[in-house]
Each structure stands twice: as structure tokens, then as C-alpha cells.
Structure 1
Amino acid sequence: MRLIMLGPPGAGKGTQAARLAERLGVPQLSTGDMLRAVVAKGSLVGLAARDVMARGELVGDDIVVNSVLECIAEPGAASGFILDGFPRTLGQARALDEALEQARLGLDAVLELKVVEAVLLDRIIYRAREAKAAGQRVRSDDNPEALKVRLEAYQTQTQPLADYYRTAGLLHTVDGLMPIDQVTSSLFAELRLLTPVAGSLHLTGDI
């Protein structure tokens, strides 16, 4: 099963993607993980990504897209994958569509977590507080100022993807403000609606 997780920063995409990946037996591919993977491989794309990151610059769409394509071409992703944090722009989405079409593959669904932006700040502050209490590293962007910038970028660059995938008949939206377990159950309920894919995965029960 090939899935994309959509939602603003703090919506819980990473948590839910990890749960889905474990249940479905497919890899969860986040943008950061994919970039690190291609850098570790030492491919031409990886070397280009390494140089850009070493300069402290944002990795361009061309490198990100090629990194994703390398990762989904790996044997471990042959039975499917869950993309977490990609695509972020319409350009990336179209490039992914073209690559999958050339490989005679397609997406099964795009799962969107809808949340109220006012709640996201509370989540980000709580996440930072929990990490600090546990002696873990607090993400540098887990603060109100950074969240505002990230949300603005999401609204202008990533939110249009919802309309793009809705038009393609792939978008499935779930209330991301529910308790974590209920969100997971709702996501699986959406996946059960997919046929014949859902029947082949025996998605019964909740989580």
C-alpha cells in the first residue's frame, strides 16, 4: 500500500505514520530519513544533498524528489510505503506522480489530519516540555515563533495539495484533534473503504 500523510506541523503525522507502517508492514519514509539514507549511500544524489546540508542551506526540490525516488525504489519499499513530510509542494507532487506512472505504480490514498491551528501551539509547547523533562533534545523549531513561520509555509505551499489529491479522488480526511488511538482507528476505517486493496490487507479491528 502506497500512502501519503498530510497535515500541518504538530498534527501528529509522524506518530500516526509510524503506527500505520507497523500495522501494514511497510516503511515510513520521512523527508529527513530519506535524505540521510541517500547521503549514507554515497550516490550522486546523496553527495549533492550532503553538500547542500553541510552549507546549512535548504535542500532544493530536485534533490528532495530524487532522494524520495531512490528510497521508494529500494527492495524494502516494494510492497508499499508511507510518505511523511513529502510532498510539500505541488511541484513535488507532480514529480512523484510522474515517477510512479513511469514505474506503473500509483498511490492508494492520501490521509489528511485536520486540526485547528490554535491547538497546534499547545501541542508544540507540550512536546517540547515533555522532551525536556525526559532529558531528550528539544527540537529547535518547537517554539511559537518557528511554528508561525512553519504554518505560513504550510498554508501557502502544502495546503493546496489537499485540493490536488481531492481532485484525483485520493484524499481521505480525519479529525486530528481526537485522542491518538481514535485517530489511528479512524485512519484504518478510511483504509478499509479502499477496494480491493483493503480486502487484501485484512484490516479488521481497531489498532
Structure 2
Amino acid sequence: MINIVLFGPPGSGKGTQAKFLEEKFNLKQLSTGDMFRYNLKNQTELGKLAQSYMDKGHLVPDEVTTNMLREELKKHTGFSGFIFDGYPRTTSQAESLDQILKEDLNQEVSVCLSLKVEDEILVGRLLERGKESGRADDANEDVIRERIVEYYKKTDEVAEHYKAQNKYAEINGVGEIAEITDKLSAEIERFT
């Protein structure tokens, strides 16, 4: 199996690339955002628990997010692996992911792929996306820059976790979409 942790700041093209990698390698993308939306909307036990923290203005504990991921993994069979998008965000979550994959699937993370794009290009892409999509978080340059800073703060420690395991690769996220997909694919094949 191929299990990929996919990193990329907002505007890096991570969502686009995940779709191509899903098709090419028969993978299932597991997005933390999608998991939260599903659990909240469907009022699952985990969704209700998460909501109880959110209603108090607290961050949802890693344990709740990790349990959502564990449940999500059980739903999807018949794939050659997974793309983890938005998880892990902390070293603790990375360690939990390692444990879940080992215990539940007798697998491990194959590689952590990180799309690298200069901040000014990210800002431009997101402002353009904001015009097209109407997304409020993509319309304000100050908000965009804060999201980028927050992304790096959160992912640096996780990158170190995978670097220590020799499972980390950076890919230039600027260029033609197909060219970037080819670079990502080459790294996946190198690590699997």
C-alpha cells in the first residue's frame, strides 16, 4: 500500500494534485476538513463531541480528530492506499497516525510530500481564487498571509518527524500542473 502525507500551504495546488494522485495510484484522499464536516453534519458521537469543544471556543483535542480518522479509514477498502490531507498537523498526530496505520492496517506512512511555493505566488493565487470562488478567506491579503504563516508554524515540526524517518520530499509547486504531478509521482515511486 501507498500512504502519503501531503503538505502544501493554502494555494499550493495540493487539492488539485491530490485528485490526480488518487486516480493514478488508486488512492483515497482523507481530508480532515471533510471528516469534520461529515461528523458535524451527521451528528455522529464524534461530531457531537467535537461540537461541544467548538461551542466553548476550544480547539478540538487531537484524540477526537484521531478517532475520526480511525473511523474514516475503516470505511474505505479496495484502495491501494491513502492520501492524508490536513492530518497530521502536530508531532503527536504524526505519532498517532503511525500507530493507527501499524495497528489497524499493518502499514506505515510511505512518504510525506511537501509542495513548496513562494509566499508571493501563494498570495496571488489565493486572491485570484477568491475572485472566482467568492470565498471570504481568499479575498483578504492580510488573512491569507496569516493563514500561510500559521501553516508553516504547524507543519514544520511534522516535517521534522518524517525527515527523521527518511520519508520526506519537497517538490516545487510552481509550473504546469502535469509537470508537478509527474514530480510528485516520481517521488512516490522512489519511496514505494
8 A Cα contact 1:27 1:76, kept in partner: no
Equivalents in 1 of 2:130, 2:25: separation in Å?
30
In structure 2, stretches of 5+ residues that fail to align are none
Of 159, 163, 173, the match for 1:162 = 159
Residue pairs, 1:110-125, within 5 angstroms: 110-125=112-127
**Which position in structure 2 is the counterpart of 1:108?**
110
**Which position in structure 2 is the counterpart of 1:145?**
142
Task: In structure 1, give the amino acid aligned to 2:112.
Answer: V
Q: CA deviation at 1:112?
A: 0.8
In structure 1, stretches of 5+ residues that fail to align are 132-137, 196-207
Question: Matched residue pairs, number?
Answer: 189
Could you report, residue by residue, the CA deviation over 1:137-176 in whole angstroms, capped at 9, with x for unpaired residues?
Answer: x222112121122122122221222222111111122101
CA RMSD between the two structures = 2.1
Equivalents in 2 of 1:91, 1:170: separation in Å?
17
8 A Cα contact 1:4 1:109, kept in partner: yes
Equivalents in 1 of 2:56, 2:13: separation in Å?
30
Equivalents in 2 of 1:66, 1:92: separation in Å?
11
Identity within the alignment, %: 35
**Which position in structure 1 is the counterpart of 2:49?**
48
1:193 is paired with a residue whose SS is helix
Task: In structure 1, give the amino acid aligned to 2:74.
Answer: A
Equivalents in 2 of 1:182, 1:144: separation in Å?
28
8 A Cα contact 1:90 1:157, kept in partner: no
Is residue 2:183 matched to residue 1:181?
no
Structure 1 or 2: larger helix share?
Answer: 2
Q: CA deviation at 1:75?
A: 3.4
Could you report, residue by residue, the CA deviation over 1:51-94 in whole angstroms, capped at 9, with x for unpaired residues?
Answer: 44566754332222211111112233764211111111222111
Decide whether aligned partners of structure 1 residues 180 and 78 sit closer, same or farther in structure 2, where only a CA change above 3 A counts. closer
Equivalents in 2 of 1:173, 1:110: separation in Å?
8
